[in-house]
């Protein structure tokens, strides 16, 4: 708990209404998908306590946040891109939080989640923090690009690409691994991805 405050000094999360005029265009937008939630998220969401609080980190326009909220969960949908999240304004069960995860801004330090969903986003300093903000029994569902993806296009910057087995190596000592996979795929677009689902026992 202390570690969160040291690495990510707590600032009051900005609400959409406070920041609607400060539109930021995401440089990751070309990798964002709209519409259908990822099959990995759909498959593992039922492991999260029914009706629990779920964090969708770097939620984009909310393809997961919206679907998760429709399943009866309470969703904190976090992104720095006001324009992207604006379509979720007023939706039931969705709390939009606009903040820059890479600029020392963080959620309330005492906030804990029954589930965390991260899809297509990587900022390595956040990875060890995620187990710390899971409630007992909480579930982490994470998927993003990994090394090798550069041959299909972006992201190709190593900062945005997981290493082989990286999520498994990081989370095995901290969480109970429920499922893990990595490798190339052709749909929805050719990419090399890594995915994990892990539980805080």
Residues 114 to 153: which contact ligand SAM by CB under 6 A? 119-121
Residue burial 30-66, b: 16+ Cβ < 10 Å; e: rest: ebbeeeebbebbeebbebbeeebbbbbbbbbbbbbbb
Q: How far is CA 13 from CA 5, 26, 78, 145, 179, in A?
A: 14, 19, 10, 28, 32
Q: Residue 186 is encoded by which pair of tokens?
A: 């052709």
Which of 137, 148 has the CB closer to ligand SAM? 148
Residue 60 near ligand SAM by CB under 6 A: yes
Shortest Å, Cβ 52 to ligand SAM: 19
Please report whether residue 33 would count as binding ligand SAM according to CB under 6 A: yes
Report whether 155 contacts 31 (CB < 8 A).
yes
Report in angstroms how near the CB of residue 165 gets to ligand SAM at its nearest. 22
Rounded least distance, CB 88 to ligand SAM, Å: 12
| Token duo for residue 126 | 């956040």
C-beta closer to ligand SAM: residue 88 or 175? 88
Instruction: Check residue 102 for interaction with ligand SAM (CB under 6 A).
Output: yes
Rg (CA), the chain: 16
User: Which residue number, 116 or 176, has a Cβ lying nearer to ligand SAM?
Assistant: 116
Distance, in Å, from the CA atom of 158 to the CA atom of 146, rounded to the nearest integer, reads: 8
- Using CB under 6 A, which of 31, 95, 149, 194 touches ligand SAM? 31
Residue (78 or 134) nearer to ligand SAM, CB? 78
What is residue 147's DSSP assignment? T
* Residues in touch with ligand SAM (CB under 6 A): 26, 28, 31-33, 58-60, 63, 79-81, 84, 100-102, 119-121
């Amino acid at each position: 708990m202390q570690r969160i405050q040291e690495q990510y000094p707590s600032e009051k999360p900005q609400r959409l209404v406070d920041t609607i005029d400060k539109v930021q265009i995401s440089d990751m937008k070309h990798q964002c998908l709209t519409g259908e939630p990822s099959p990995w998220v759909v498959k593992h969401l039922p492991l999260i306590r029914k009706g629990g609080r779920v964090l969708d980190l770097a939620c984009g326009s909310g393809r997961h946040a919206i679907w998760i909220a429709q399943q009866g969960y309470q969703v904190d949908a976090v992104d720095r891109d006001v324009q992207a999240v604006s379509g979720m304004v007023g939706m039931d069960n969705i709390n939009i939080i606009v903040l820059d995860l890479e600029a020392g801004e963080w959620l309330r330090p005492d906030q804990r989640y029954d589930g965390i969903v991260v899809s297509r986003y990587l900022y390595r300093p956040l990875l060890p923090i995620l187990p710390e903000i899971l409630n007992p029994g909480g579930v982490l569902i994470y998927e993003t690009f990994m090394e090798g993806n550069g041959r299909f296009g972006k992201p190709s910057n190593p900062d945005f690409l997981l290493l082989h087995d990286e999520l498994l190596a990081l989370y095995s000592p901290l969480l109970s691994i429920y499922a893990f996979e990595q490798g190339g795929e052709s749909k929805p677009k050719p990419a090399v991805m890594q995915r994990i689902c892990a539980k805080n026992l």
